[in-house]
Amino acid sequence: MIKYHLNVLFAFVLLFCGVFSIHTQTREVITLKDDWKFQKGNPENAFKVNFDDSKWEQVTVPHDWAIKGPFDKEIDIQRVAIEQNGEKLPTEKTGRTGALPHIGTAWYRNTFTLPENAKSKKVILLFEGAMSEPQIYLNGKKVGEWAYGYSYFYFDVSEFIIEGENTLAVKLSNEAYASRWYPGAGLYRNVSLIIKNNESIDQWGMFITTPFVSEDNAKVNIKTKVSTGENSHVVTTIFDAKENKVSSNKTATKFGNEFEQNIKVENPNLWNTEMPYLYSAITQLFVDNELKDEVTTRFGIRDIKYESGKGLVLNGEVTKFKGVCLHHDLGPLGTAVNKAALKRQLTILKDMGCNAIRSAHNMPSFEQLELCDEMGFLFLAESFDEWAKPKVENGYNRFFEEYAEKDVVNLVQATRNHPSIIMWSAGNEVPDQWGNDGVKRAKWLQDIFHREDPTRPVTVGMDQVKAVMESGFGALLDIPGLNYRVHLYEEAYENFPQGFILGSETASTVSSRGIYKFPVVQEDMKKYDDLQCSSYDLEACWWSNVPDEDFVLQDDKPWVIGEFVWTGFDYLGEPTPYDEAWPSRSSYFGISDLAGLPKDRYYLYRSRWNTKDKTLHLLPHWNWEGRDGETTPVFVYTNYDSAELFVNGKSQGVQKKNSSTPQNRYRLMWMDVKYKPGTLKVVAFDEGGKPIADKEIHTAGKPNELILEPDRETIKADGEDLSYVTVSVVDKNGIPCPTATNQLNFEVKGKGIFKVACNGDATSLEMFHLPTMKLFSGKLVVTVQSLKEAGDIELIVKGKGLKTAKITLNSIN
């Protein structure tokens, strides 16, 4: 059993360790991306080598077979009561899993040729994610199977490999009633072959920590598990970010099958969220003085501890989690992982001031973790949404007893050296929170995490706070995580022994970008005929709350160690509060919409989280035909304390933040403004009362011209990189048209292709992959993908009655 002092939990430093896709003299990593054949259904003998797949669809992996739709409410109608939402009676849910055709069986086949010497080597077949219940066949023989669609897993396939062509076949099956959101379908993450010597470093066999860190030096501890006989040794050489040699160590001492090295790094550059410094290392395995294996590793040095009354202390500084939860889908791309799409998400979040990500409720992709290491995000890596007790009929509960330990082991061993990961989550809102069996399962899982990684704490997202206080469930966890239940924070803090509370899931405020409803009131589960939610950010769910209530706890209670907001971006499925309505097929919880466009709420969080840059955001828009003279409240989200509002030059008074309500503390609000078309202007004041910044919104005329704004004008010519082009419409005077819904058409020429479009409308049934879509609240996003040939890419956007817009992007090698 692991013991901790009450006032200091887990004093440690973690590092990143990841094997790149490389070819050295000792090992080769082949990522199987191209030339896959795909077929929905379950054809007989599809696993055999001589099976005729000539008429199957040719795809690249990662691949999501369901994202192209169509949207259809009949696909996964569920008549259920969502217990975690407090529902007692079952009702019909039509968009819960995104209304996309992910249910059913499908096959993937790939034929590849290995190097001539592969037959005498060890060959590992690695899957980073397969949705779901994969069965793997190589050259007509079954290699093995797995269950969890979010898990990484691998097989030693050395005995199945043949000289010449090899045929890989993968069967996947997605059951109905197996998910609470859109899970995706297919080989949605990478599939790789690792070819190495029989005497080699084990898969995920390296574990790197630094047990001592000071300004002068750090001790880097490296444990390396190997498959070797006698007369072996390892050499590890560390390099800094400029590739200068830092230090080196050789050892021949082996404990069982594991070498252990301690290497000194002088004057270390510490990894943190502002300067995520990464070193690199080369670890070489020798047998009889012959080089047998070599692994290149990036890592970051940092010091972490969790202290009672303070929480996370990173490199000696108290650091609160300013985090968001993210599902694994990438909006219109579906679940097929794409590094450019992930980097765009993190870039948007970084500007908001976000410093932490929770992978909810699934195991993160390797690409996401690599980016968080590089960009400086703290990461809460989550494992399960279910244990033994079900939330949905065909969920993970079917596999828990057989697979839970294997899935946790793979999660931890594959990712435990990422500096971004600062905590593990063993589960989310599991029904097992009730009863003694649940307490035992919580301890059992936490013990597995500790066994595989004794350096990080473990949490569970708990929503049954009264139950976990009574049973001891919450007390046994390293980090007590509360999902919502802000009214129980004080009581939980008094009852739990850890000395702090984490907001493991917060807010669940709902809004639709650019949509505003009147009258402006704070209300739970508010519904409208158009199936949208108001962007005044005062609407939540019955179990949740608006952001300001969490802000109060974060700011006033030092023992509240941070929050993870539900969610950073809208995601497919779970269209609360419209999960009984149609059409409604994606969430409203996001701080940004499904297209990645910020909602107003983005600026509310930015005004509090981004302490480097100033925020001055004005809402609503000022196009309200037919509302002349009617009350139209105006909100300002800003990190200035006071401001004056003007309508067509007439002052509406000065507002100053105060503590009368949570909203007045974090927002400036003019509740009695009467609408008149023209100019809405806000002037912010500094602490001395002098004007320091201003912003204006104007009433727009008819849509006239399209504006194209790419997130990146230059992308890589690798057939995977993406440029996201925001398309908006302005009137003849260049004023944005915030209510425009024009139908647009897209064409891409040159060295790129049209990939998808998305407008962020949760009720839209237009398919993402077709080159036409309506604007929503005056905007949408077109995604352009590079080819494998460099050159110019031209995007052309047209709309009836609008001037055609063009933009040229560049793809480079």
| Span(s) in the chain for CATH 2.60.40.10 | 8-22+199-299, 624-698, 705-812
| Residue at 33: amino acid letter | K
Distance CA 786, CA 84 (A): 43
- CATH H-level, domain 321-575: superfamily: Glycosidases (3.20.20.80)
Phi, psi of 772 (to 5 degrees): -155, 145
Phi, psi of 493 (to 5 degrees): -60, -40
Strands 479-483, 539-540: parallel, antiparallel or unpaired by DSSP? unpaired
Which residues have CB under 8 Å from 682's CB, separation 6+? 616, 618, 634, 636, 643, 644, 645, 646, 668, 694, 695, 696
Q: 21 pLDDT exceeds 60?
A: no
Please write the tens of the pLDDT for every residue from 442-483: 999 999 999 999 999 999 999 999 999 999 999 999 999 999
Q: Where residue 677 falls among pLDDT bands split at 50, 70, 90? A: very high
> What is the torsional sign of CA 38, 43, 45, 51?
negative
Please write the tens of the pLDDT for every residue from 289-346: 999 999 988 999 999 999 999 999 999 999 999 999 999 999 999 999 999 999 999 9
pLDDT at 3: 31
Q: In what order do the strands lie in the sheet with 165-174?
A: 57-59, 36-40, 104-113, 165-174, 135-138, 141-145
pLDDT at 19: 32
Q: In what order do the strands lie in the sheet with 290-299?
A: 245-251, 232-239, 279-287, 290-299
Q: At what angle do helices 339-352 and 600-609 cross, to 10 degrees?
A: 60
Q: 679 pLDDT exceeds 60?
A: yes
Q: Provide mean pLDDT across the span 736-745.
A: 98
Which residues are registered as beta bridge partners of 294? 284
CA angle, residues 60, 65, 69, in degrees to nearest 5? 130
Q: 13 pLDDT exceeds 80?
A: no
CA angle, residues 495, 501, 502, in degrees to nearest 5? 150
Distance CA 160, CA 300 (A): 38
Q: Write down the CATH number for the domain with range 27-66+102-196.
A: 2.60.120.260
CATH classification (class only), 705-812: mainly beta
Please write the tens of the pLDDT for every residue from 258-272: 999 999 999 999 999
Phi, psi of 43 (to 5 degrees): -65, 145
The candidate with the shortest Cα–Cα distance to 59, out of 42, 41, 34, is 34
| Residue at 461: amino acid letter | G
Q: 138 pLDDT exceeds 70?
A: yes
Instruction: Write out the two tokens for 327.
Output: 């599902």
Q: Provide mean pLDDT across the span 35-55.
A: 97
Which residues have CB under 8 Å from 534's CB, separation 6+? 511, 512, 515, 516, 517, 520, 526, 528
The candidate with the shortest Cα–Cα distance to 477, out of 425, 430, 513, 529, is 425
Mean of pLDDT over the chain: 95
Phi, psi of 244 (to 5 degrees): -85, 140
| Span(s) in the chain for CATH 3.20.20.80 | 321-575
Q: Where residue 11 falls among pLDDT bands split at 50, 70, 90? A: very low
pLDDT at 90: 82
Distance CA 592, CA 254 (A): 51
CA angle, residues 412, 201, 278, in degrees to nearest 5? 60
Distance of CA 337 to the CA centre of its chain: 11
pLDDT at 717: 98
Please write the tens of the pLDDT for every residue from 168-215: 999 999 999 999 999 999 999 999 999 999 999 999 999 999 889 999
Compute, in degrees rounded to 10, the torsion defined by CA atoms 83, 86, 88, 89: -80
Distance CA 423, CA 416 (A): 10
Which residues are registered as beta bridge partners of 295? 283
| Span(s) in the chain for CATH 2.60.120.260 | 27-66+102-196
pLDDT at 84: 64
Distance of CA 389 to the CA centre of its chain: 26
Active site positions, annotated: 429, 505
Q: In CATH terms, is domain 8-22+199-299 a member of 2.60.40.10? A: yes
Distance CA 312, CA 309 (A): 10
**Residue that the structure tokens 């199945």 belong to:** 160
Percentage with pLDDT > 90 across the chain? 92
Tell me the Cα Rg of the chain: 27
DSSP letter, residue 158? G
pLDDT at 440: 98
Which residues are registered as beta bridge partners of 225? 258
Instruction: Write out the two tokens for 291.
Output: 């080089």
Q: Provide mean pLDDT across the span 538-542.
A: 97
The distance in angstroms from the start CA to the end CA of the chain is 53
Q: Where residue 85 falls among pLDDT bands split at 50, 70, 90? A: low
Q: How many helices (H) and strands (E) does the chain have?
A: 10, 50
The candidate with the shortest Cα–Cα distance to 173, out of 197, 199, 147, is 147
pLDDT at 24: 54
> What is the torsional sign of CA 523, 323, 328, 412?
negative
Q: Write down the CATH number for the domain with range 624-698.
A: 2.60.40.10
Distance CA 319, CA 75 (A): 45
Q: Is residue 146 classed as helix, strand or coil in its secondary structure?
A: coil
Which of 113-122, 350-359, 721-730, 752-761 is predicted with the least confidence, judged by mean pLDDT? 113-122
The candidate with the shortest Cα–Cα distance to 19, out of 276, 363, 283, is 283
Q: 14 pLDDT exceeds 80?
A: no
pLDDT at 764: 98
pLDDT at 483: 98
Cα-based distances in Å from 148 to 380, 394, 598: 19, 12, 33
- Is the separation of the CB atoms in 385 and 391 below 8 Å? yes
Q: 763 pLDDT exceeds 70?
A: yes
